Structure 1
Amino acid sequence: MTAVTATTADTFRPALHYAARNTWLNDPNGLIHHEGIYHLYYQNNPLDNVWGNMSWGHATSPDLLTWTEHPVAIACDETEDVFSGSVVFDRANTSGFGTGARAPLVAVYTSAFKEPSSRDGIQAQSLAYSLDGGYNWTKYAGNPVLDRGSANFRDPKVFRYDGDAGSYWVMVAVEANDFKVVLYKSNDLKSWELLSSFGPANATGGVWECPDLFPLPVDGDPDNLKWVLIVNLNPGGPNNGSAGQYFVGDFDGVKFTSVTTVTEGPQDPARLAEYQWLDWGRDYYAAVSFSDAPDNRRLMIGWMNNWEYANKIPTSPWRGPMSLVREVSLRTIEGNPRMVQHVAGDLTSLRGHGPSFSLEAVEIPDGQHVLTGAAGSAQRIDLSLVPGTAEEMGIVVRGNGVEGTRIGIRPAEGYIIVDRRESGQTDFHESFASVDTAPIQTRNGAYELTIFVDRCSVEVFAKEGEVTLTELIFPSRSSTGVSLYAVGGTAIANKLSVTQYA
C-alpha cells in the first residue's frame, strides 16, 4: 500500500496496491530484489497524470506490501523517451560499469527516439547503471547498444543464462507489430548477437509487448524444469482490450520451443478461450517478474489498467495502480503444465481493526442477501460455493443496495463472471461497463474463490489460482456491503470468511 490514505477528494486510492502519489504510471519494469529490498520501477509521466514524458518511476518495499515512492530514476530527455525494460545485478562487472568492489545494477531499457535525435522514430535498446543500489542512475554514453532500425523493437527483459550452451546474458524483446519475440545474447551487456525468434502464435489480436522468460519446476520437482514465456498484447485479450498470455516449453540457451501452442500464425478467434492467459480480467497488463527474488521464487506484478480507457479512469491526482504481487508456479493440470498464481507477501500484517466475518453451510435462496457484519472497503474474501438449482450464484462486493460488483458462477455454462455494469462510476468510457468471463469447473464438487477487494479493484483467484480475473471498479465511498445471491434457484455457501484490511 502507499503512504497516502484515501481522502474525500481521493476516494479510490488503494489500501493494498501501489499507486504513485500524484502522477501517471503504467507498465512495471526493472523489477529486482537487491540488498534486501524489492525495487519496482515503472513507466511514469512525472509531469502529469496522463500518458506522456515516459520515464522510469521508482518505488521500494521490504515486504511487497508497503511501498515507498522515490524520485524519478531514469528520466526522458530532449532526444528520447525511456520505455520499458529490466534491471540486472552485474555481479561479475561484465559491463565494466562497476568501480572497485562495487558491482553495478544495470538497466536495459528501450530508447524511443524523437526529434531532434537522428534516430527519430526508432526504438532501440540502451543502458543505464547505478552504483548506489538503484536510486541514482547514469545513462551509458555509448547508447543505444542494440538498434535494428525498427520503430517497434522494445521491452527488453534480460537475465543470466548458465547452461549447456554456455554462460551469458540473454535479452528477450519484441518486434511488436510482427508478433515476434526476439532473443539475443551478450557477454558484456553492450554487444549483442541474435539467437532466435518466436512467433506469431496463439493470441495475435494486438501488438506484442513486455515479454519475459524464466524457468519453473513442474509440480515443485527441480528435476522437471520447464520454461515460461510471457507475452503481453494490446488489444486482443479474452474479454477485449489489454491482456497477457503465456507459453510453456523449453529453452536450450538459443531457442525457445513451446509445448502449449494452440495456433501458429494469425489468431483463431474461435479458439481464444483455449489460449493460456495470465489473467482473464480486463485490468492485468504488462506483467513481468522480479529478478533475484529470494529462495528462487518467481514473483510477478502487472499494471492494473487497460489501454481502452487507461487515460480516463476517474482517479485524482494519481492515475493507474499496480496489481498485488503474485507468486507463480507450474502445476500439471489435465496432463498439461499450467500456471497457478497466489498473492505473495504476508497480508496478515495489514489487517485492520474491523471484525472478521465467517459462516458455514448456509443455503442461498433466490435473490440477494446482505451479510450483516461483513462490510468493508479493503478485504480478503474466501468463498466455497456448492451448486444447487440456481442458474447463477455468487457474491456482490462493494455494494450499497443500488450498486455493487457481482462475482458469480454459472454452472451450466461453466463460467465465472465479474459483472461491473453497476459497480459505481462507469460512464467515463463506453467500454468500461462490462461482464467478463472465464471458464471454470468444480473441484471436489465446489467452486473455491479467493477475492481481494480494494477501493478501486477486485482480484479474483479461482481453482486454487489456476484462473484469475482482475478488474478495476469505482464505487461510492459508502458502498462497502457484501451480499450472497442466487438466481433462479438455490445454492450453498459451504464456507465464507472475510478478513478486513481497512
Structure 2
Amino acid sequence: MKKMFWTLMVMLLTVSSVSAQQKPLVLGKSHAMQRVEVKNHYLLLPVQEREDNANIRVLVGGQQVQSMNIRLAVDKVDYYVPLDIQRFGTKDLLLDIMFYGDRRFTGAMKDFLCWQEMKQSNTFDTTNREKFRPQYHHTPAYGWMNDPNGMFYKDGVYHLFYQWNPYGSMWENMTWGHSTSRDLIHWETQPTAIEPDALGDIFSGSCVVDQKNNQVVAFYTSAGRSQVQSMAVSKDNGKTFEKYAGNPILVSKEEDFRDPKAFWNADIQRWNLILAVGQEMHIYSSDNLKDWTYESAFGKEYGCHDGVWECPDLMKLPVRGTGKQKWMLICNINPGGPFGGSATQYFIGDFDGKKFVCEHTDTRWMDYGKDHYATVTFDNAPEGRHIALAWMSNWQYANQVPTKQFRSANSIPRDLDLFEYNGQTYCGVTPSKEMLALRGKTGNKLPQTGELIIDLKGSTEITFSNSLGEQVVMEYDAVKNTFSMDRSRSYASFSEAFPCKTVAPTYGAMKQLRIFIDHSSIEAFDAEGRMAMTNLVFPTEPYSQIKVTNNAKVTIYPF
C-alpha cells in the first residue's frame, strides 16, 4: 500500500498496551460498572461490530463527563478505538455501562471479552490496514464518517469538518471531525472540533467566515430529544470552537429540522440561512448571525419527494458563455435517488434574499452515480469558486462496506457552474484544477490509482477487469446521448443493493471522458463538465486490464 495522502496531527502512533482494569462490577443482566485507574493517555475500547450498542457513561466524582454508544466486544475483537481518559484530569474514572444485546445469544455478561481486552496506552495505532482505503480521497484516520460539514477556506487553508463517530466504524455518536488542506488533495487530521452536549449529538451544518468580526461561525443541528439549531464561534481560524451560550438559536415543531447552511448574500448585504425541514427547504435572513427571520419555504411540487430532504446549499453561479448568473439550490435526498438510496438533486432559478423561484419542473441530479450524497460547497472559496465535496457512499449499504478501521471517503473536489442546453440551464460539474497536480508520467498499464483521459469517436465501451473475472463496464452511447457504468460483476457480497448499472444523460455529444480511479472508487466526468458519475467498487484484487472499443484514444496518468 502506498503512503496515504493524509497525516495525523495528534500523537496517535504505535500501540504500547498495558492491562488497565480491575474486574467489572456486574449489577444485573445488562448493567455493569468498571473502575479505571488512569495511568495512560488512552483507554483502548474493543469493538465487535456484529454486537448491539452498549451505552457507556464516564463518571468522575459521581458526575457524568461523557456518554457514548459503542459495540463492546463479546467474544471477538474487530478493532480498538481510543477514549482519551487523560482529558478528564483525574486519577480515577467509573464507567457505567448498559448492554442492550439479547443475553440468550451473547451469554453471561461477566464472561464478555471486553473486560479482558480493555487496555491503556499512551498511543493509538492509525497505520493503514485497509486494502480499500483510498490513496488521494479524504478519509478519516479511523472511525465512521458521513456528511461533509462546515467547509470553509481562510488564509490559504481549506477546512473540512465531517460527521464522525470516534468510537466505531458504524454510524453513531455524531461529532464534528476536522481535517485541513492547502491543496484539496493532501489532508491533515486535526483534533476533534465540536462534541455532543446536553442538547444532543452534533449533526450536519456549515461554517461562515465572518470577515467583519474576524471569526469563523459554525451552525449545526443539535440532535437530542428534538432537532434544534445551534452555533459556535472560533477565534483561531477553526482550530477550536466555543458554543454560543444562547443555544439553540432556531427551533421547530417539525421532526426533521436540520442541516443549516449559512452564507453572506452580497445582493442584499445580509446573511441567509437555508434549512432542510421534512420535504421542504426553509429560508431565513439575519444581520448578526444570531437572530434569524423566517422568509419563505421552497419544495412543494418540485423535484423528487421519495425521501427526506437534507443538506441544502444555495449559491449564485455563472452561466457559461452568456454573462448571465442564476441561483442554484442543492437538495440532497434519502431515499429517492435515481438508482436507489441517496443522491443529490438541484434546482435552478432566481433568489431575491427572501424567496427562491425555480424555473423548471423536472427533477435534476447533480451526479448520476450511486455514491454521491450530502454535497455542499466551501464558504469563502478563492477566486469566487464554488467547490463541492460529497460523501462517497449510499445509506443502503454504508455501514456494511468491506472495511473496518474506517468507513467512507469524500469525493474528489468539483467546481460547480451552469451551462445551457436546448434552451434549459443545467449544473456543470468539473474536477477541480488541483487534481491536475497529481498526474504522473503517462503509462501503458491500468494503475490502481490515477486518471484516464479517453478521446471518444462516437459510441464506446470501456471495461476494467482483473484475473478473477470481476469487471466494471462503462458505455457511452452517442445515439441516445447517455453514459452508463455497470458494476454488477464487481465484488458485492456485503449487500444486495450494491450491484447496479447507473445511467446519465450527457446533454449532447461527449468528446472526451475523464475517469478517476482509486482503490475503491471510480468517478467519471465529461471533460466539458456536463456529466458526472460516482460509484464505489470493491474488487477482490485490483483491476489490471482495460479494454476500449471503437478506436478511442486512451491516455493514462498514474498518481
Category of TM-score, reference length = shorter chain: 0.7 to 0.9
Distance in 1 between residues matched to 2:198 and 2:537, nearest whole Å: 37
C-alpha distance after superposition, 1:470-497 (max 9, x if no partner) = 0000113443322225xxxxx231x221
RMSD, matched Cα = 2.0
- Whether the 8 Å contact between 2:207 and 2:262 is mirrored in structure 1 is yes
The alpha-carbon deviation at position 8 of structure 1 amounts to 8.6
- Alignment pair present for 1:169 and 2:169: no
Does the C-alpha gap of structure 1 residues 19 and 257 become closer, same or farther in structure 2, counting only changes over 3 Å? Answer: same
- Can you give the 5+ residue segments of structure 2 that lack an aligned partner in the other structure? 9-125
| Residues 78-93 of structure 1 mapped to structure 2, 5 A cutoff | 78-93=198-213
- Whether the 8 Å contact between 1:400 and 1:478 is mirrored in structure 2 is no
- Can you give the 5+ residue segments of structure 1 that lack an aligned partner in the other structure? 94-102, 114-119, 263-274, 358-372, 486-490
- Residue from 203, 208, 211 that aligns with 2:312: 211
AA in 2 matched with 1:138: E
- Whether the 8 Å contact between 2:519 and 2:542 is mirrored in structure 1 is no
Query: Residue 232 of structure 1 corresponds to which residue in structure 2?
Result: 332
Distance in 1 between residues matched to 2:264 and 2:480, nearest whole Å: 45
The alpha-carbon deviation at position 414 of structure 1 amounts to 4.2
- Alignment pair present for 1:43 and 2:163: yes
- Whether the 8 Å contact between 1:460 and 1:469 is mirrored in structure 2 is yes
- Alignment pair present for 1:17 and 2:143: no
Distance in 1 between residues matched to 2:308 and 2:352, nearest whole Å: 26
- Whether the 8 Å contact between 1:280 and 1:469 is mirrored in structure 2 is yes
Bigger shift: residues 33-42 or 327-336 = 327-336
- Alignment pair present for 1:492 and 2:528: no
The alpha-carbon deviation at position 276 of structure 1 amounts to 1.5
Does the C-alpha gap of structure 1 residues 17 and 279 become closer, same or farther in structure 2, counting only changes over 3 Å? Answer: same
The alpha-carbon deviation at position 316 of structure 1 amounts to 2.6
Q: Secondary structure at the match of 1:346?
A: helix
AA in 1 matched with 2:6: A
The alpha-carbon deviation at position 161 of structure 1 amounts to 1.6
The alpha-carbon deviation at position 448 of structure 1 amounts to 2.6
Aligned length: 438
Distance in 2 between residues matched to 1:289 and 1:342, nearest whole Å: 13
Q: Secondary structure at the match of 2:407?
A: coil
The alpha-carbon deviation at position 174 of structure 1 amounts to 1.1
| Residues 118-157 of structure 1 mapped to structure 2, 5 A cutoff | 120=225, 122-157=226-261
- What is the TM-score when the length of structure 1 is the normalising length? 0.83
Query: Residue 515 of structure 2 corresponds to which residue in structure 1?
Result: 451
Query: Residue 420 of structure 1 corresponds to which residue in structure 2?
Result: 487
Query: Residue 462 of structure 1 corresponds to which residue in structure 2?
Result: 526
Does the C-alpha gap of structure 1 residues 138 and 333 become closer, same or farther in structure 2, counting only changes over 3 Å? Answer: same
Distance in 2 between residues matched to 1:484 and 1:74, nearest whole Å: 48
Does the C-alpha gap of structure 1 residues 168 and 413 become closer, same or farther in structure 2, counting only changes over 3 Å? Answer: closer
- Residue from 376, 380, 393 that aligns with 1:288: 376
Q: Secondary structure at the match of 2:6?
A: coil
- Alignment pair present for 1:431 and 2:497: yes
C-alpha distance after superposition, 1:380-400 (max 9, x if no partner) = 111123247xxxx41123533
Distance in 1 between residues matched to 2:144 and 2:412, nearest whole Å: 18
Does the C-alpha gap of structure 1 residues 478 and 218 become closer, same or farther in structure 2, counting only changes over 3 Å? Answer: closer
- Whether the 8 Å contact between 1:387 and 1:492 is mirrored in structure 2 is no
- Residue from 406, 411, 424 that aligns with 2:473: 406
| Residues 9-408 of structure 1 mapped to structure 2, 5 A cutoff | 9-93=129-213, 103-113=214-224, 120=225, 122-163=226-267, 166-176=268-278, 179-200=279-300, 201-219=302-320, 221-222=322-323, 224-262=324-362, 275-352=363-440, 356-357=442-443, 373-387=444-458, 393-397=460-464, 399-400=466-467, 402-408=469-475
Does the C-alpha gap of structure 1 residues 8 and 156 become closer, same or farther in structure 2, counting only changes over 3 Å? Answer: closer
- Whether the 8 Å contact between 1:451 and 1:461 is mirrored in structure 2 is yes
- Whether the 8 Å contact between 2:415 and 2:432 is mirrored in structure 1 is yes
Does the C-alpha gap of structure 1 residues 217 and 238 become closer, same or farther in structure 2, counting only changes over 3 Å? Answer: same
- Whether the 8 Å contact between 2:439 and 2:451 is mirrored in structure 1 is no
Q: Secondary structure at the match of 2:274?
A: strand
Does the C-alpha gap of structure 1 residues 43 and 185 become closer, same or farther in structure 2, counting only changes over 3 Å? Answer: same
Query: Residue 104 of structure 2 corresponds to which residue in structure 1?
Result: none
- Whether the 8 Å contact between 1:2 and 1:19 is mirrored in structure 2 is no
Which protein has the larger Cα radius of gyration, Structure 1 or Structure 2? 2
Does the C-alpha gap of structure 1 residues 387 and 226 become closer, same or farther in structure 2, counting only changes over 3 Å? Answer: closer
Distance in 2 between residues matched to 1:144 and 1:8, nearest whole Å: 39
Distance in 2 between residues matched to 1:229 and 1:127, nearest whole Å: 23
Runs of 4+ residues deviating >6 angstroms: 4-8
